[in-house]
Structure 1
């Protein structure tokens, strides 16, 4: 009996570069598919940092399947911002995949349906209605950026932090800021975090301080620091990242920019005043410290996978990285410190303990932060080889 690929239905979660790549492969191999995107437009996670420049040039962020869909006037060596990358590459790819993309469709939960199929509960944000989709395979490419870590101890929310997250308008953001400088002039601003997102925010705040010297800046870092916050690596293959590291270390050492920098310090409580719209920040420091009358909080404390989506499935995870176990074992045992020399770890590393459920892209790395798009494209190719082998 010949298997009809048109009868095999794949549900893809997320319309970022990896989710769209899944769509290209599904189209190439003749499978039915649907791409669920919770946002108003494709690549919703990238839109959250659309003003930020990528560390890698365009040619590293385009797949073999997608390269022919690029806008013709592109520069392969250009370092694009998030929005430029969307319009140059992801937009043309998405046109190729219409009408299989469902915008404003939020995946709520995934479970098994009978023996070997899946049921996906999806909320249509336009109608407010929920509906089920029955599929044969689920590929989760939803990323992590829309699930930021809390600022409290070990990702436990600081007291009152959850309320501030959903407050509109809120004095707290987990994004890299993109305000006009004058909007922050003379304000008291706290930056929390020590990753490259925090470094980008610190660089932005330094420019605000330069333009408006009366602005007061504070930086809270959970980790202890011996000398400088970012390790200098003259051999870093990513020139943009190396330059950011040098710049931010200079800013850290310049005592005129940040009024105070608190290291090895955790936020334990956020007290918001509805009358003044300001926040008091309680620090778990010795001696105890409260930063009063803060106008804005920029929390760049990283992100992690939203595992609630597949909580009803039997997906075995790594206790350290929170990523799928087979891939996590390969990643944690890898000795390659150069992220650009990474490759996918083979088809079997993409298998989970649920047949035909796959996690790809940034989310597959769990809490690890060295994911690059080239690896994600290879992962998608591996996944479709696994699917094709079954049928």
Structure 2
């Protein structure tokens, strides 16, 4: 400790109360945070990297959610919307598509004057720190404003001060790598154009990529299941379309149907995939650990080990549906306490561990579980779940 660490920071503390809360991301959780803060009369600025709200959801908007409408609308957001004449979409027990969620809920919410005036589009957060101090400085830290560095759509670098930061930037833009090691497989750069992000629009905009070709879907979660179902439908109409499902575990327990699943649509998804495998419309290759990829015959060769032996699978195209992980690079100067396994806040991690819980068995939680040593900093939404795939919007709103 030095003398500088002992100096009082009363001016900074007084200023802190005048600053807004900075929310990273204008998806459903970021907008819900803005609505809750607005309802309480707390100034807020939402920083969104895209040019529209819910930019990630729009990428998989053709996909239907598992959760019905009645669980998809944040209570504070609903109050603000209804005060402006909005009504809940018909069929509260029906699960919408991502596009429907955006069109009928998120866009109207973002268009409310009290919310719209607080969103900055084309503003990507690149770092979060404290004014005048890195993570090693302690004295006066809690009373010192946050400093958020952003890059605008025009390439300019700016810095904004805030009293608190809520990082709701999600994980969709940072998928897990294909290799079983958690690293990119050797040769990944050579086949990058043939490996596609999770949840492509197989029956719509991306149909030309998959029709009449052999697709290998890698991953054992619900993103993989949705893609398998779409590819099977495509195969009915497009001769030559073949589908292989590659997983690294002996079975796809997270996808397979279960009578205990509390979300009916999710349970149906599992049973439909089970039927595709049973009838041979989807070829399941289990226990396959990818280590290398390479160009082969105009397509991709996935190489690795299966049950202790060297193995390979050839494909025309690959869909990486291996899940997602949080981008923590912008938080290097934040004092965050993350679980060493799932990279979620330490108190939250035991409640969401995918080895123990499914989406429907996660206990209610909130402020206490989301706290970090960095006073005033929170991870929220999908990013707060780290690598766990059990996030539901209803839980995020809590």
1:74 maps to 89
1:317 maps to 338
- Measured after TM superposition, the shift of residue 4 of structure 1 is 9.3
2:264 maps to 239
The question of whether the paired residues in 1 share the 8 Å contact of 2:257 and 2:269 is answered with no
Q: 1:4 to 1:340 in 2, by over 3 A?
A: farther
Q: 1:225 to 1:235 in 2, by over 3 A?
A: closer
Q: 1:341 to 1:320 in 2, by over 3 A?
A: closer
2:11 maps to none
The question of whether the paired residues in 2 share the 8 Å contact of 1:171 and 1:277 is answered with no
Q: CA RMSD in A?
A: 2.6
- Match among 14, 19, 30 for residue 41 of structure 2: 30
The question of whether the paired residues in 1 share the 8 Å contact of 2:16 and 2:145 is answered with no
In structure 1, stretches of 5+ residues that fail to align are 379-391
The question of whether the paired residues in 2 share the 8 Å contact of 1:198 and 1:300 is answered with yes
Q: 1:213 to 1:254 in 2, by over 3 A?
A: farther
What are the equivalent positions in structure 2 for 1:199-218 lying under 5 Å apart? 199-218=225-244
Q: Kindly indicate whether residue 392 of structure 2 is the aligned counterpart of residue 350 of structure 1.
A: no
CA–CA distance in structure 1, aligned partners of residues 40 and 66 of structure 2: 32
- Measured after TM superposition, the shift of residue 278 of structure 1 is 2.6
CA–CA distance in structure 2, aligned partners of residues 364 and 73 of structure 1: 28
Q: Which secondary structure state, in structure 1, belongs to the residue aligned with residue 339 of structure 2?
A: coil
Q: Kindly indicate whether residue 188 of structure 2 is the aligned counterpart of residue 161 of structure 1.
A: yes
The question of whether the paired residues in 2 share the 8 Å contact of 1:6 and 1:31 is answered with no
The question of whether the paired residues in 2 share the 8 Å contact of 1:208 and 1:215 is answered with yes
Q: Name the TM-score, length of structure 2 as normaliser.
A: 0.84
2:9 maps to none
1:123 maps to 151
1:51 maps to 62
Q: Name the TM-score, length of structure 1 as normaliser.
A: 0.86
The question of whether the paired residues in 2 share the 8 Å contact of 1:151 and 1:266 is answered with no
Q: Kindly indicate whether residue 178 of structure 2 is the aligned counterpart of residue 151 of structure 1.
A: yes
Q: 1:122 to 1:164 in 2, by over 3 A?
A: farther
- Measured after TM superposition, the shift of residue 277 of structure 1 is 5.0
- Match among 104, 114, 120 for residue 102 of structure 1: 120
The question of whether the paired residues in 2 share the 8 Å contact of 1:14 and 1:143 is answered with yes
Q: 1:200 to 1:346 in 2, by over 3 A?
A: closer
CA–CA distance in structure 2, aligned partners of residues 31 and 345 of structure 1: 23
Q: 1:330 to 1:270 in 2, by over 3 A?
A: closer
In structure 2, stretches of 5+ residues that fail to align are 1-13, 133-140
Q: Which secondary structure state, in structure 2, belongs to the residue aligned with residue 325 of structure 1?
A: coil
- Measured after TM superposition, the shift of residue 154 of structure 1 is 2.8
2:106 maps to 90
Q: Which secondary structure state, in structure 2, belongs to the residue aligned with residue 34 of structure 1?
A: strand
2:250 maps to 224
Q: Which secondary structure state, in structure 2, belongs to the residue aligned with residue 42 of structure 1?
A: coil
The question of whether the paired residues in 2 share the 8 Å contact of 1:322 and 1:366 is answered with yes
Q: Which secondary structure state, in structure 1, belongs to the residue aligned with residue 348 of structure 2?
A: helix
CA–CA distance in structure 2, aligned partners of residues 347 and 36 of structure 1: 22
The question of whether the paired residues in 1 share the 8 Å contact of 2:256 and 2:271 is answered with no
- Measured after TM superposition, the shift of residue 361 of structure 1 is 1.1
Q: Deviations over 1:258-304 (max 9, x none)?
A: 3x43211122222237xx75322223235423334x32111100001
2:312 maps to 290
The question of whether the paired residues in 2 share the 8 Å contact of 1:194 and 1:229 is answered with yes
Q: Kindly indicate whether residue 323 of structure 2 is the aligned counterpart of residue 308 of structure 1.
A: no
1:21 maps to 32
The question of whether the paired residues in 2 share the 8 Å contact of 1:7 and 1:31 is answered with no
Q: 1:208 to 1:334 in 2, by over 3 A?
A: closer
CA–CA distance in structure 2, aligned partners of residues 17 and 189 of structure 1: 32
- Match among 2, 5, 21 for residue 10 of structure 1: 21
CA–CA distance in structure 2, aligned partners of residues 331 and 354 of structure 1: 22
Q: Kindly indicate whether residue 396 of structure 2 is the aligned counterpart of residue 370 of structure 1.
A: no
The question of whether the paired residues in 1 share the 8 Å contact of 2:190 and 2:295 is answered with no
CA–CA distance in structure 2, aligned partners of residues 357 and 55 of structure 1: 30
What are the equivalent positions in structure 2 for 1:379-390 lying under 5 Å apart? none
The question of whether the paired residues in 2 share the 8 Å contact of 1:189 and 1:296 is answered with yes
Q: 1:291 to 1:330 in 2, by over 3 A?
A: closer
